[in-house]
Amino acid sequence: MRKGLRLGVDLGGTSVKLALVDERGRLHDKIAVDTVKQPRALVKRLSEALRPWSNRSLLGTGVGVAGDVDTRKGVVRFSANLGWRRVALAGLFRKFKFPSPIVLDNDANAAAWGGYHLELGARPKSLITLTLGTGVGGGLVLDGELYRGVTGSAGEIGHLVVQDGGDPCACGNRGCLESYLGASAMVRWARAAYAKKKQVVEPLDPKILEQRALRRDPVAQEAYARAAQALGTALTSLVNLLNPDTILFTGGVARGATLFLPQALKILKSGAFKTPATAVRIVVARGKTDLGVAGAGLLVT
Ligand SMILES: [Zn+2]
């Protein structure tokens, strides 16, 4: 990783974070801008927001985008959050004279790369990252390199199938890890379970569900038990498949890890091969919220 500052851009559906990122992933300055859905108008707005940094010498621009990204061509193939289809985003950044090279990747990959450097000091040889929020994101660092797969689509850990014919998932399939462990899936399941018991629990959101589980509410506890079972099943396969030295949990739901992680690890220890299951280190992120923008900056190596 070259010494010096690069520009990191974390492009989400509601806001865009921009930061000056050094070679260790530390942020030196940051700003946030509301997202505009029209790509050209958005990049123009970002270039205007950058003016205070115009006299800084930067090594390049790394961009993490919520969506399916063609890293080699610098094209966003599809983004549900942004409503984009085939947007040549790297070209737009070039047109508005952002520091080059301009490197584009999926935001979950960028966050995994950020976690690898910021949370773990780039020490592990191989790392699996799970980002637990509304959905379940994932990223793989194998032998010290971000693993993207042949079309840049690798690391979709949230869509590992853990239950044949199980609960429907936003991706169109059934039984994905996300449909048990994602915050919105957990809330949806709990709402239906309360309705079945003719229990009125309103409002209900991930935070309230977590508090109810901590107070031993049976429905909330069951939602977490289902999440733990699904996660344990996924971890068993992941550890047997990849033999990583570290698994890192980040994101809002990871903060309630005591409610599901011990049970999931029990399933992992009893299900996976003994040697890789004993060797793997489990880390819950210390709560840095800027892994996405830091990792985006670090895409410029
Ligand atoms: Zn899915």
> Tens of pLDDT along 219-231?
999 999 999 999 9
Is 187 inside any structural domain? yes
Label residues 261-291 b or e (16+ Cβ within 10 Å = b): bebbbebbbeebeeebbeebeebbbeeeebb
Of all residues in the chain, what percent carry a pLDDT higher than 90?
Answer: 85
End-to-end CA distance of the chain: 5
Query: Which residues are within 8 A (CB) of 292 and not within 5 positions of it... i.e. 6 or more apart?
Result: 10, 12, 17, 64, 107, 110, 111, 114
Q: Can you read off the two tokens belonging to residue 80?
A: 């549900």
Is 1 inside any structural domain? no
Residues 99 and 125 occupy one common structural domain: no
Residues 100 and 124 occupy one common structural domain: no
Residues 160 and 263 occupy one common structural domain: yes
Residues 124 and 99 occupy one common structural domain: no
Residues 71 and 108 occupy one common structural domain: yes
CA of 293 to the centre of ligand 1 (A): 25
Q: pLDDT at position 288, please?
A: 63
CA of 181 to the centre of ligand 1 (A): 11
CA of 227 to the centre of ligand 1 (A): 14
CA of 159 to the centre of ligand 1 (A): 4
**pTM across the whole model:** 0.90
If pLDDT is split at 50, 70 and 90, which confidence band does 201 have? confident
CA of 168 to the centre of ligand 1 (A): 8
Q: pLDDT at position 162, please?
A: 98
Is 88 inside any structural domain? yes
Q: pLDDT at position 289, please?
A: 67
Residues 157 and 257 occupy one common structural domain: yes
Residues 202 and 74 occupy one common structural domain: no
Residues 104 and 124 occupy one common structural domain: no
Residues 64 and 157 occupy one common structural domain: no
Residues 77 and 158 occupy one common structural domain: no
Total domains in the chain come to 2
Residues 278 and 132 occupy one common structural domain: yes
Residues 168 and 86 occupy one common structural domain: no
- 268: domain range? 120-284
